[in-house]
Amino acid sequence: MRSDRIDFAAEAADRLEEIGAVLRLDRAPRIGEINELFRAVHSLKGLAGLKGFGRFAHALHEAESLLDAVRLSRTPWSEAVRSGLDRFFRAFEEGMTRAAADGNDEAFSPETAIAMLSVGAGPGAFAPPPSPLSAALDLPPRTLSCLSEYEESRLRVHLAAGTPIYTIDVGFPLDTFETTLKALGAALNAAGEWIATLPQAAGFTAERLAVQLLAASFSPPSGLPEGAVVRRITRAAPPGAAEEPARAPAGRTVRLEADRLEALLNEAEETRARFLRFAGDVARWEHLLAPSDRAMAARLRQRAELSLSRLTRQAAAIRTIPISFLADRLRRAAERVVEASGKKAVFRIVGGDSEIDRTLADDLADPLLHLLRNAIDHGIEPPAERSAAGKPEAGTVTMMVRSRNSRLLISIGDDGRGIDLEAVVRRARVLGWIAPGQEPTEAQAHEFLFRPGFSTASAISEISGRGVGLDLVAERVAARHGEVRVVSSAGAGTRFEIEIANSQAVFDAMIVLEEGRPYAFPLAAIGRVERERDDGKAVALIRALDGSDPVPGQRRTTMILRDGSAISVAKVLRQEMIVVRAVETADPAPFLIGASQGRGEEVILVLDPKRLLRHARAAAPAGSAS
Amino acid sequence: MIRRILVVEDSDATRSMMVAALDEPEKREVFEAASGFEALRLLPRHVFDAIVTDVNMPDINGLELIGFLKNHPQYRSIPVLVVSTEVAAEDVERAMALGSREYVRKPFTPDQIRSAVDRLFAASPR
């Protein structure tokens, strides 16, 4: 077995050498080099798995995933990516040295290494204007014109990586087509990437269909069905056309007054709404035009509609920023706090690509910073104490962000000592918050933490003592109609969760009518719509809202949710992209997501169908079935 | 005269809404396909007066389907209506360039899709 380890060490050293060479470049690596990096990590992972080094393989898998995202242009290459990988492989190399002595990888902590890789999503890359694909691929224009934007981007990625592209012409019986093709596609994906499927008009019958597949692969596709014709379509690169990496510029930001931004966004929305009304009128008159003018008018109308839609969506996107912007600020703060505390801790971010409203990001920055400081300062134990408790010396603080419809859930958790509930209760007694002889519940004790005037740290630390306390965290969050909760278990850690309405969200919705008023539901929640279904299982919207019943004999429409439950409405009006704002009332209904401006003056209430049904069930008197 | 329409859309919710909007006894008969494959299976079995298709679908997408139709002598003249979100604006432009006649932006009203289909028929009387 000794020789196995030596093999692994020698092989791995070679791969690490290749990896280091790319990471130490004084420029952004070319896509080809990123692919090399990816392949080196991939083979290293395979090697580690083969030799039974599960911890190494687990950590390498994460590095491979990150490189895969970079390779597929999903994550732009940045200094953060480079330094993260650099630190990861340094830790890995240390682990290897140790493993060579121990004969196993048990001293290696994959979590610690993986934490070094966490990179917030960077700003979107601005791609240079692309050169025509016909220059690089020997394909008729007719075929190229059938490719979608996505398929084209995949071809470009592979062309940039130097992966040869092939066409595969193959025919199948139409009745077994899907299964046969999927199997072939899986084989192509194993060897490279299956990019497009172009059905061929020539020779098409009710029994048989021929398709042309486009696939990228380093070796010519093999194991194909009989009669398949493979052709390599990548042209040789013209001399001097060396590939240049599509370099993402640094994320530049500009400052601008919130009022001006708001005015611009409202104007964009208003313009789109007006145009849609106008276009509706125009469409009604188009039949009066001569046929040739009619087609042109329709096309002009459609083009204008497309641009305006893009304008609204982009305008709405200005209002939000990726949470990674906030996360980067927190990460820098975390590094400073860790340094000053004399503890060891890593900061991880999960869900950094969520979008958050700018003003919300501003309002949450301080509370999150405070929670983060608390976690490091009071949560994470000193290294010696952690070792004694059988924990890794370095603690982990994780910020997790999830967004659902227009709700945002942000948590900051640590794997530290947990909250000392007894100390909390003692302090509350001193403050006179507990009546003599009473024993507060855990929830009550947690609630004390957020009251003004509460602080358990006997010596207020240099770091956390300053700035806001938990009472201010609660106040800030409440000011945005959010909630803050705490989950803690002694010895295992503490997690603070903030749930808040992301003041604005844009999503597709189904607009329905009930009792003459419009309501909206997120389209994603609805499975299908059926007319005139009445098996008594659907809950009438009006019943869920105010307990009354719809007019008998009405022809109603049923929306069936993904879980099979159903809501009936008087009418389905339309599907529409809506801009949803949080409703600022003291006590919003639990199923209310927000409100959206309708096409006229009316306000459309946006409802969460699942919560609505839950609310209806809770409100229904026992024994009442509908 | 009953017009036969083939609706190709992979989202069940959207497809059922299109069918509900277009299906009208004595006037329009609607056939459904949940994928490009299903559409290709139905094509030789019926004579369609119009095809309404989504763009972004797995395996065979709307553009590839339109490319197929426009290359086939028997299906070349069937008018095509493209239904898609504005996120796929670039793909819609491509569909129009391939010879689609009309475009309806998702999300849409039943009225919008009905009148777009009517415009297809007005432009190509049988």
Find the range with the poorest average confidence among A221-235, A264-278, A611-625: A611-625
Residue type, A428: A
Q: Is the model's pLDDT at A251 over the cut of 80?
A: no
Mutate which: B59, B72, B102, vs A, most A CBs within 10 A: B59
The Cα B49–Cα B89 span in angstroms is 26
Q: Is the model's pLDDT at B85 over the cut of 80?
A: no
Most confident of A60-69, A163-172, A518-527: A163-172
Partners of residue A527 in chain B, C-beta under 8 Å: 12-13
The Cα A375–Cα A361 span in angstroms is 20
Q: What is the mean pLDDT of residues A364-378?
A: 85
End-to-end CA distance of chain A: 69
How many alpha carbons fall within 13 Å on the CB side of residue A286?
27
**Residue of chain B with shortest Cα separation from A292:** B123
Q: Is the model's pLDDT at A219 over the cut of 50?
A: yes
Q: Report pTM.
A: 0.41
Task: Give Cβ neighbours of residue B105 (< 8 Å, ≥ 6 apart).
Answer: A305, A306, A309, B83, B84, B85, B86
- H or E stretch at A162: none
Contact across the interface for B72 and A201, Cβ inside 8 Å: yes
Q: What is the mean pLDDT of residues A394-409?
A: 80
Contact across the interface for B91 and A148, Cβ inside 8 Å: yes
Q: Is the model's pLDDT at A448 over the cut of 60?
A: yes
Contact across the interface for B40 and A201, Cβ inside 8 Å: no
Contact across the interface for B67 and A309, Cβ inside 8 Å: no
Mutate which: B71, B93, B114, vs A, most A CBs within 10 A: B71
The 10s digit of each residue's pLDDT in B15-51 is 888 998 999 888 999 999 999 999 999 999 899 999 9
Residue A623 has a pLDDT of 44
The answer to whether A531 faces chain B, any CB pair under 8 Å, is yes
CA A423 vs CA A381, A394, A401, A560: distances in Å:
17, 25, 30, 51
The Cα B37–Cα B44 span in angstroms is 12
The Cα A195–Cα A165 span in angstroms is 9
Contact across the interface for A529 and B16, Cβ inside 8 Å: yes
Partners of residue B93 in chain A, C-beta under 8 Å: 306
Q: The complex's ipTM? A: 0.89
Q: Is the model's pLDDT at A472 over the cut of 70?
A: yes
Q: Is the model's pLDDT at A557 over the cut of 80?
A: yes
Q: Is the model's pLDDT at A484 over the cut of 70?
A: yes
Beta sheet of B102-106, edge-to-edge order? B28-33, B3-8, B50-54, B80-85, B102-106
The 10s digit of each residue's pLDDT in A562-598 is 778 899 999 888 877 777 776 766 667 778 888 887 6
Q: What is the mean pLDDT of residues A228-251?
A: 58
3-state SS string over A44-73?
Answer: HHHHHHHCCCHHHHHHHHHHHHHHHHHHCC
Question: How distant is the Cα of B8 from the closest Cα of chain A, in angstroms?
Answer: 15
Q: What is the mean pLDDT of residues A192-217?
A: 90
A570-599 exposure pattern, b = at least 16 Cβ within 10 A, e = fewer:
bbbbbbbbbbbbbbeeeeeeebbbbbbbbb
Find the range with the poorest average confidence among A34-38, A162-166, B74-78: A34-38
Partners of residue B82 in chain A, C-beta under 8 Å: none
pLDDT band per the 50, 70, 90 thresholds, residue A85 = very high
- Residue A544 or residue A249, greater confidence: A544
Q: What is the mean pLDDT of residues A351-377?
A: 80
pLDDT band per the 50, 70, 90 thresholds, residue B3 = very high
Residue A346 has a pLDDT of 87
The Cα A107–Cα A95 span in angstroms is 7
What percent of chain A stands above pLDDT 90? 8
Partners of residue B88 in chain A, C-beta under 8 Å: 148-149
Residue B6 has a pLDDT of 97
Contact across the interface for B94 and A149, Cβ inside 8 Å: yes
pLDDT band per the 50, 70, 90 thresholds, residue A113 = confident
CA A77 vs CA A60, A107, A126, A604: distances in Å:
18, 31, 12, 42
pLDDT band per the 50, 70, 90 thresholds, residue A599 = low
Residue A2 has a pLDDT of 44
Q: Is the model's pLDDT at B62 over the cut of 90?
A: yes
Q: Is the separation of the CB atoms in A555 and A532 below 8 Å?
A: yes
The 10s digit of each residue's pLDDT in A428-437 is 888 888 888 8
Partners of residue A145 in chain B, C-beta under 8 Å: 67, 94, 97-98
**Residue of chain B with shortest Cα separation from A195:** B59
The Cα A57–Cα A47 span in angstroms is 8
pLDDT band per the 50, 70, 90 thresholds, residue A523 = confident
Q: Is the separation of the CB atoms in A31 and A163 below 8 Å?
A: no
